[in-house]
A and B are shown apart, each in its own frame.
Chain A
Amino acid sequence: MKKIFILLQKEFIQIFRNKTILPIIFVLPVVQLLILANAATQEMKNIKLAIVDYDCSPESRGLIEKFTFSKFYAIIPVERSTKKAIKLIDMGYADAALIIPNSFGAMANRSESIKLQLLTNAINITSAALINRYTSSIVLDYATNATVEFGKPTISQASIRHWYNPTLDYKLYMVPGILVILVTIVGMFLTAINIVREKELGTIEQINVTPIKPYQFIIGKLIPFWVIALAELMFGLVIARVVFNLNITGSIPLLFGFAAIYLIAALGLGLILSTSASNQQQVMFMAFFFMTVFLMLSGLFTPTESMPSWANWFNKINPLFYFMNVNRMLILKGSDFSNLWPNFLAISIIATVVIIIAIKRYKKTS
């Protein structure tokens, strides 16, 4: 215990004396949250829509007006030529083209089913799907309005309500995920680099000739960055609250409880990497590789449900997957321990295994 205390004392002196590490720890979360939460949005604004109106009836003009008033669209007027509209898409001046058939007004009056054509640039599948959804919802909306005017319903509409994130604010979905990246980077990278730096400077040799036990050394290296990463999480949550108005629906102690176990796994992983690397370049490269794989599969950007089965299988040992899960369930949905315990169990097992490997891998003799 005394030796661990001595190690901690030395580690904290070094961290607080380092002129670059503290600013990084506190500037990083602000930048990441502000930039990434906004950049990683799946909302679309300013969809460039070319509308080809073959009808030119009051009804078709009413529809076009709907699009013009929507903040999501920028309307590009086109002559009555589908070919020209396609050319606009080809050249990148338009994202999509909506073709209104010449019978639109007449069919609307007769309450017949109307077919409009939408041509979309689908190079970016996500944005194409969004354009389809937005556009058809506006057309549907217009048709329902028309129903009231003409007395007969043309199209029935399902009513959708989104739970936990009622306005489908993508930022609220991203922020908990970005917090996960944040504490992982700070914890895992700092720990890994710290030990490799001692190898580079040769100071670890002076430690290795002392009677210190591997577990003492590992714990002494782990705790400082564990504390820093937890402080980072707190800091990030405050920013999320202030800037994005993120409300933590679930229990905060439970969130920190999970983060505490998760960080043992993440930092332990950093320690394992540092025992395999002999310089900072190598360890950075390895940490970056693992971070990317873990992150992509964790479900930050894409739902894990749609991933192949091997990815879901891999996620069973992916600490980031569990933290991503728990963070969102707890922050957005307000899940309590009775819902989250399988995640707690899994992360505890992972953390234990990782720490044991890290201690075993640290050898004083080469």
Chain B
Amino acid sequence: MIKTIEVDKLTKKFGSFTAVDNISFSVSSGEILGLLGANGAGKTTTIKMLCGLLAPTSGKIKVAGYNAYLQAEQIRTRIGYMSQKFSLYNDLTVWENIHFFGGVYGLWGKQLKLRAEALIDDFEMRPFMNLTVQSLPPGWRQRIALAVSLVHNPPIILLDEPTSGVDPIARRMFWETIHQISANGTTALVTTHYIDEAEYCNNVLVMVDGKLVAAGQPNELKSLYNSTTMDDVFLSLARNENTKI
């Protein structure tokens, strides 16, 4: 398997606070990696460093074979990013948002139009493609954000809590979409604090207070921690960490 994301001894400090503490992991192409953790565990900081929005304090990052400091622009054309905070233009329509971001990624003319049409159909957005994003419910907005992050057919997608604030049915649909995308060879790194969503991932990483405390397939972790659900795994890990302090 080709490693599409390689992270080695990554650390990020904000003043005296260590948000991400010496973590190392790798993701293979076509893999769905779940990054699990409570709020403030360092998930978002990690993902922001991966897509070049934050400069790491120390450590190495390689995305799609490129060094994150020296070749940030090459990485940017190869990743799709969905922010934890909804960050499409609320006053633009669904179509305009897709069209705009497609254009920013370098698509143009007929090619851009075809790609936008394809996404509209894939995500079943045709009925409301001419409505402004702000008039749509949150679940739909997240779907549009996912569609936008895929507009340039990136080999890697980084999704930061894509399902937060989304109802259970929509969450399920969301994960089905992620599976479809990954079946085509796209690598997906997804952060979440819904622990049950770990079951949808090939591999999971558990972060507690900036540290990586567990890594492996969901089933492996469950047997390792003698639990029936990932929830129990996570709780025992998080408690364990707390008692250490």
Residues of B within 8 A of A7 (CB): 104
The answer to the question of A165 belonging to the interface, with a C-beta cut-off of 8 Å to chain B, is: no
Cross-chain contact B53 with A202 (CB below 8 angstroms): no
Given contacts A3-B106, A201-B90, A364-B53, 17 further A-B contacts (CB under 8 A): A3-B103, A9-B100, A10-B92, A13-B92, A202-B83, A202-B86, A202-B87, A203-B89, A205-B85, A209-B52, A209-B76, A209-B81, A211-B73, A211-B77, A212-B104, A365-B53, A365-B55
Residues of A within 8 A of B52 (CB): 208-209, 364-365
Residues of B within 8 A of A203 (CB): 87-89
- Hey, what's the 0/1 contact readout for A285-305 against B, CB within 8 Å counting as 1? 000000000000000000000
Interface of B is mostly: loop
Give Cα distance in the complex from A34 to B52, angstroms: 51
Give Cα distance in the complex from A136 to B243, angstroms: 92
Q: Which chain A residue shows the least CB distance to B68? A: A365
Give Cα distance in the complex from A207 to B149, angstroms: 11
The answer to the question of B178 belonging to the interface, with a C-beta cut-off of 8 Å to chain A, is: no
Interface residues of A (CB under 8 A from B): 2-3, 5-7, 9-10, 13-14, 17-18, 201-203, 205-212, 364-366
Give Cα distance in the complex from A14 to B77, angstroms: 26
Cross-chain contact B87 with A206 (CB below 8 angstroms): yes
Cross-chain contact B92 with A14 (CB below 8 angstroms): yes
Q: Decide: A206 near B53, CB < 8 A? Known: A211-B73, A212-B104.
A: no
Cross-chain contact A6 with B103 (CB below 8 angstroms): yes
Cross-chain contact A10 with B96 (CB below 8 angstroms): yes
From B85, B91, B105, contact of A211 by CB (8 A): B105
**28 A–B pairs (Cβ distance < 8 Å), ordered by A:** A2-B108, A3-B103, A3-B104, A3-B106, A6-B100, A6-B103, A6-B104, A13-B92, A13-B96, A17-B91, A201-B90, A202-B85, A203-B87, A203-B88, A205-B53, A205-B83, A205-B85, A205-B87, A206-B87, A210-B76, A211-B76, A211-B105, A211-B106, A364-B52, A364-B72, A365-B54, A365-B55, A366-B53
Give Cα distance in the complex from A211 to B49, angstroms: 16
B77 nearest CB across to chain A (Å): 5
Cross-chain contact B81 with A18 (CB below 8 angstroms): no
* Number of B residues with CB within 8 Å of any CB on chain A: 29
Residues of B within 8 A of A14 (CB): 89, 91-92
A237 nearest CB across to chain B (Å): 31
Q: Which of B115-147 contact A (CB under 8 A)?
A: none
The answer to the question of B150 belonging to the interface, with a C-beta cut-off of 8 Å to chain A, is: no
Q: Which chain A residue shows the least CB distance to B86? A: A202
The answer to the question of B225 belonging to the interface, with a C-beta cut-off of 8 Å to chain A, is: no
Q: Which chain B residue shows the least CB distance to A204? A: B87
The answer to the question of B51 belonging to the interface, with a C-beta cut-off of 8 Å to chain A, is: yes
The answer to the question of B101 belonging to the interface, with a C-beta cut-off of 8 Å to chain A, is: yes
Give Cα distance in the complex from A6 to B72, angstroms: 22
The answer to the question of B79 belonging to the interface, with a C-beta cut-off of 8 Å to chain A, is: yes
Q: Which chain B residue shows the least CB distance to A10? A: B100
B74 nearest CB across to chain A (Å): 8
Residues of B within 8 A of A364 (CB): 52-53, 72
Interface of A is mostly: helix
Cross-chain contact A210 with B54 (CB below 8 angstroms): no
Q: Which chain A residue shows the least CB distance to B151? A: A210
B25 nearest CB across to chain A (Å): 21
Residues of B within 8 A of A366 (CB): 53-55
A21 nearest CB across to chain B (Å): 11
Residues of A within 8 A of B87 (CB): 201-203, 205-206
B141 nearest CB across to chain A (Å): 13
Give Cα distance in the complex from A18 to B92, angstroms: 11
Q: Which chain B residue shows the least CB distance to A212? A: B104
Residues of A within 8 A of B77 (CB): 211
Residues of A within 8 A of B91 (CB): 14, 17-18
Give Cα distance in the complex from A365 to B72, angstroms: 10
Residues of B within 8 A of A3 (CB): 103-104, 106
Most chain B CB atoms below 10 A, which of A18, A203, A212: A203
Q: Decide: A209 near B54, CB < 8 A? Known: A2-B103, A10-B96, A13-B96.
A: no
Q: Which chain A residue shows the least CB distance to B105? A: A210
Give Cα distance in the complex from A14 to B96, angstroms: 10
Q: Which of B17-72 contact A (CB under 8 A)?
A: 51-55, 72
Cross-chain contact A207 with B104 (CB below 8 angstroms): yes
Give Cα distance in the complex from A293 to B51, angstroms: 41
Residues of B within 8 A of A9 (CB): 100, 103
Q: Which chain B residue shows the least CB distance to A207? A: B104
A287 nearest CB across to chain B (Å): 23
Give Cα distance in the complex from A206 to B52, angstroms: 12
B191 nearest CB across to chain A (Å): 15
A214 nearest CB across to chain B (Å): 11
Cross-chain contact A210 with B53 (CB below 8 angstroms): no
Q: Which chain A residue shows the least CB distance to B108? A: A2
Residues of A within 8 A of B76 (CB): 209-211
B54 nearest CB across to chain A (Å): 6
Q: Which 9 A-B pairs have the closest CB atoms?
A: A6-B103, A202-B87, A209-B81, A211-B76, A206-B87, A202-B85, A10-B100, A210-B104, A211-B77
Give Cα distance in the complex from A284 to B90, angstroms: 23
Give Cα distance in the complex from A345 to B149, angstroms: 46
Give Cα distance in the complex from A104 to B140, angstroms: 92
Residues of B within 8 A of A365 (CB): 52-55, 72
Give Cα distance in the complex from A202 to B81, angstroms: 13
Give Cα distance in the complex from A253 to B133, angstroms: 42
Q: Which chain A residue shows the least CB distance to B85? A: A202
Give Cα distance in the complex from A120 to B55, angstroms: 68
